[in-house]
Each structure stands twice: as C-alpha cells, then as structure tokens.
Chain A
Amino acid sequence: MENRQWKGTTYGNSGMHRHLIRLLRVLDVRVLYVFSYLFVIPFCLIFNASRRSAWRFYRNGLHQGFFRAAWSVYANHCRFAEVVIDRFAMYAGKRFRIVVDGRDEFERRAAGEDGFLHLSSHIGNYELAGYSLGSEKKTIYAVVFADEKATVMEGRGRMFGRNNVKMIALREDMGHLFEIDEALSGGHIVTFPSDRMMGEGKSLSAAFLGRTARFPQGPFRVAVMRGVDVLAVNVMKEGWTGYHVYVTPLPYDRTLPKKEQVDTLLREYVAQLEKCIRRYPTQWYNFFDFWA
C-alpha cells in the first residue's frame, strides 16, 4: 500500500524544470502533451505505483467497470501530465482561457472588510485560480508545502507576485500559523489545500464517495475559530487549453457549538468535492490510497 502521506514536492529536479520552462517559451503546450501521452505516461504506468491508487479510485471509489477504469487510469495520468505542463507553461509566460462560475461570490467578499478562506483540493489545477481571482484590496495568501522544488517556488513567486498573491509555506515550527492568523485577522484571503493530510496532524473523518476518508482538521478549524466565510475553489481543465473555475460558498451556522460548525463545513466541502470529481473524473490527483 502506498504511503498515506504525500512528500510535498513536484517530480524532477530544478535543472529539468528550468529546461522545461525554456522549452515552453517556444513550444506549443500541445506538442508536449502528445509527447507525454505517447512516451512518458506508458512508462509511468509501468514503473510508478500511482497506477494502483488510481485504479482503486476508479474501481472502488467511482465503481467503474474493468475496461472503463483501465482507460480512466491512463486518461487520469495524461490529464495530470497536462496540468503539470500547464503550470510550467504559466511560469514560462503562457496564458490560458479561463471561465469563472461564482465570480460574484468571490468579488463580494473581496470588496468587504473581512478576511475569508479558499479551500482547494488536489483536483484540476488550482494554481490557475491565482491568476483569475485577483483582488486589488486584499492580498491572497496561498498555503503551500515548504519542501516544494526551488524552481516551482520561484515560478510561483514570480507569477503570484504580479497578482497580489503571497505564499505561506507549511513548516515544522508555528511560523505559518502566525502568518495565517495575521492574514485572516488583517482582512485578507487565505487559500488552504484541504483534502490531504500533511505530517501527523489531527484528522477529521467524513464519508467520501461512500467510504470513510480522513481530512486535515486545520482548514476547517481555522475557519471556525476566526468565524470567517469559506469558499471552495476548484479549477478544472476543459479541452486543450481551457480552465473552468468553480467558486462555491460553504455555509455553516456560526451560532452552533464549534465542533458542529467544523463538522458542517467538512460535510459541505466533501459534498462539493464529490460533485466536482463526478463531473471531471479524470482530474483526481491524490495518488495514494485516499481511504487508508
């Protein structure tokens, strides 16, 4: 069984990443897509354990038949290759066609005085949201894994800097918590990946696609302790170079006991995650046994 934890870093070394960025300045992304479908993904499927967790996801999670699940595993890896290429293409200066559902939900809160949370998931390509959901009044603080490769962090820094987005790296000490709290109490926006456990932190349980899965407590408890609004934001790939951003408010009754507020938020988050992944089944990128 694969480790339940994700190592928090993109595959490849910094030299490879820089080379890819240089290449994408001159090449159309579609050339690299096709190259990866034909020459990279087949090898990944043979040598990488991700095929097993993807297979379990399609067979046991989405209850697909044998042949459909086999195709989904291949299509899922191809989509993943595309979003990784797209991310580096953005670092190389390329732009994508983006449609936003629920922009008014974001803009109304962005124009107000209070801070709020974006809960993201490892589906689609969330980093695109940083380019489409900007705010002049508020800074967006993106919580990211501290061990990510330098090239990815540099690329993010460059692109996010232009869009009033700053990064908060998750660290072993409590530094990131001060930054998250300061950002929210200062009326800014904090984005939090909310579907994946990091380290040995405490978890919450919820039924996801019919079976009990663990989710990190952090994002949901932070929202409740500060009493801020919460939006789920999913950025899903459509066609070759298009992305569809879904902004969904997650309501919770702030007069209830804290535990019930946290449970309500988690239920709402899981419901929208299920809805989205049923609509875009090949864009699930948690390559470990999600229900372990």
Chain B
Amino acid sequence: MEALIEELKKQIIEALNLEELTPEDIDADAPLFGDGLGLDSIDALELIVILDKKYGIRLSSPAEGKEIFKNVRSIAEYVQKARKK
C-alpha cells in the first residue's frame, strides 16, 4: 500500500504540474480539495484520467469520485481493489 501511495503522489505531482512539491510534502491523509492541496474540478478530471490510463479503472459516477478522491490514501485503497492493470 505504501508503495502505491508513493507512486500515486508522483503521478499527481506530474499530472498537475505541482513541481514545487515532492512526494514527502503531500500528506496521504490530507484532503486533496479545498483546504488541503487545493485541487479543483479540472484536477479531479486529471485524477480520473490517471486511474483510467495507468490502472484501467473507469469511474462511473460523480458521487463515487467524491469518496475516492478524498485523499491519496483513499485513492490508493480504491486502486488496490479495482485495478485492471
């Protein structure tokens, strides 16, 4: 799980152009949206594309996305369960 969290952090930094951050700067349990990393809805779409391209996971509803994208750990838990790649 920790390796997957690390991998996801690197992908988030790369996809969202957060070059000023390192994986260590991102708390796996901190919220990604709002007060946490301050991501917005287009960033959420980047995360959807990461799940699709890297792990073969296609999310089907916004409600599902809201739960999954709470923080890096919740994404990792979901990827571990649902990954096809």
> Do the beta carbons of A174 and B41 come within 8 Å of each other?
yes
Which chain A residues lie closer than 8 Å to B44 at the CB level?
Answer: 174, 177
Known: A185-B52, A225-B15. A178 touches B65 (CB 8 A): yes
Q: Give the interface SS of chain B, mostly helix, strand, loop or mixed.
A: helix
> Do the beta carbons of B66 and A225 come within 8 Å of each other?
no
**B46 within 8 Å of A (CB atoms):** yes
Task: Name the contact of A174 in the complex, choosing from B17, B52, B66 (C-beta under 8 A).
Answer: B66
Task: Name the contact of A202 in the complex, choosing from B42, B59, B61, B66 (C-beta under 8 A).
Answer: B42
Which chain B residues lie closer than 8 Å to A279 at the CB level?
Answer: none
Which chain B residues lie closer than 8 Å to A226 at the CB level?
Answer: 49
**B35 within 8 Å of A (CB atoms):** no
Chain B 41-74 against A: per-residue CB contact (8 Å), 1 yes, 0 no?
1101110110010000001111001100000000
**B25 within 8 Å of A (CB atoms):** no
Known: A173-B62, A258-B15. A178 touches B48 (CB 8 A): yes
> Do the beta carbons of A181 and B48 come within 8 Å of each other?
yes
**B2 within 8 Å of A (CB atoms):** no
> Do the beta carbons of A222 and B45 come within 8 Å of each other?
yes
Residue of B nearest to A173 (CB): B62
Chain B 66-85 against A: per-residue CB contact (8 Å), 1 yes, 0 no?
10000000000000000000
The smallest beta-carbon distance between B40 and chain A, in angstroms, is: 6
Which chain A residues lie closer than 8 Å to B42 at the CB level?
Answer: 177, 201-202, 217-218, 221-222
Which chain A residues lie closer than 8 Å to B17 at the CB level?
Answer: 258-259
Residue of A nearest to B44 (CB): A174
Which chain A residues lie closer than 8 Å to B45 at the CB level?
Answer: 174, 177, 180-181, 221-222, 225
Residue of B nearest to A178 (CB): B62
Q: Which of A244-267 contact B (CB under 8 A)?
A: 258-259
> Do the beta carbons of B41 and A201 come within 8 Å of each other?
yes
In angstroms, Cα B30 to Cα A15, docked, is 49
**A175 within 8 Å of B (CB atoms):** yes
In angstroms, Cα B62 to Cα A202, docked, is 20
> Do the beta carbons of B62 and A174 come within 8 Å of each other?
yes
The smallest beta-carbon distance between A252 and chain B, in angstroms, is: 15
Residue of B nearest to A170 (CB): B41
The smallest beta-carbon distance between B52 and chain A, in angstroms, is: 7
Which chain B residues lie closer than 8 Å to A218 at the CB level?
Answer: 41-42
The smallest beta-carbon distance between A200 and chain B, in angstroms, is: 8
> Do the beta carbons of B49 and A225 come within 8 Å of each other?
yes
A-B contacts, 16 of them at CB < 8 A, read A173-B66, A174-B41, A174-B44, A174-B62, A174-B65, A174-B66, A177-B62, A178-B48, A178-B61, A178-B62, A181-B49, A185-B52, A201-B40, A226-B49, A258-B14, A258-B17
* 6 shortest interchain CB distances as A-B pairs: A174-B62, A175-B62, A177-B45, A218-B42, A259-B17, A225-B49
Q: A218-B41, A225-B46 are in contact. List 18 more A-B contacts (CB 8 A).
A: A174-B66, A177-B42, A177-B44, A177-B45, A177-B62, A178-B48, A178-B61, A178-B62, A185-B52, A202-B40, A202-B42, A217-B42, A221-B42, A221-B45, A225-B45, A258-B14, A258-B17, A259-B17
